Structure 1
Amino acid sequence: MSILVNKDTRVIVQGFTGSQATLHSEQAIEYGTNIVGGITPGKGGQTHLGKPVFDTMDEAVKSVQPNASLIFVPAPFCKDSILEAAESGIELIVCITEGVPTLDMLDVKKRVDELDLTLIGPNCPGLITPGEAKLGIMPASIHMQGSIGIISRSGTLTYEAVKQTTDLGFGQ
């Protein structure tokens, strides 16, 4: 059962060619997540992990029609990255980055609410629909398909709750 993402979710990764985005995008692709490309300004026209790289979200939207964004950019650039995704009509924005300035997020929250979009994060482990799609940094191996939704501000507490429900035979 999925609420926000499934195997058909079309994911674009912002900050795609950076080391953390590369690591977690590789894992997501291996998991079966439908990553349709990535954004790294100045690297548009290249490919990375077999996927196209774009300079801007507008270019990506026109070319590969993503409906979700996974953000791995440094904290000072998060506000612009989130707003770029929002203004391009991305319905679900997941921001992994920690240390994003609070005042930046006040502006972001206002705009995301005005556009009626969903923002998860920043400073979160992401989200997963077991067996379908993984957008984030959580270990896939501890998840099991089921009907329990688990959400937390803390990655470690999330992983513990997931592990315990999985061990008891319940899935997420």
Structure 2
Amino acid sequence: MGADPARAFKVPQSVLVVIHTPAFEVLLIERADAPGFWQSVTGSKDRPEEPFELTAAREVREETGLDAAAPGHALRDWGLENVYEIYPQWRHRYAPGVTHNTERVFGLCVPRAAPVRLSPREHRDQVWLPWREAAQRCFSPSNAEAIGWLPRLGGVPRP
């Protein structure tokens, strides 16, 4: 039995996970293939039927080593989606005719800012910043916008 050719293509559904503390410090990671490109955790579903929440938890683990279900961690679906055009140079990764991706936005609250274990093939550096500074440093406008939602969707910071 041959391999399913549809599995060779990326699923045009992804997640954006804003990792933050209760005081709204935000983790940004710098892409290995694009120095100066700072972002939150992102990644595509492995298969169309994979729930967004599982994709978010998997991508967080793969890119930072954090366990979204660990005690004191709270992964929340913010109920926001971004639909954007896939850059032409990356469209070959998707099925013919696919031009847009749907990105679901999540927040992951962790107890404190701490170093994470980066995947060296994907990211080269990390920084924790106050949410406004983090939003300004993001390369992606949709990522910056998601961080801007943090005070409203991320919960009330603890004193």
Higher RCO (Cα < 8 Å, 6 or more apart): 2
TM-score by length of 1: 0.27
**Which protein is richer in helix relative to its size?**
1
**Which protein is richer in strand relative to its size?**
2
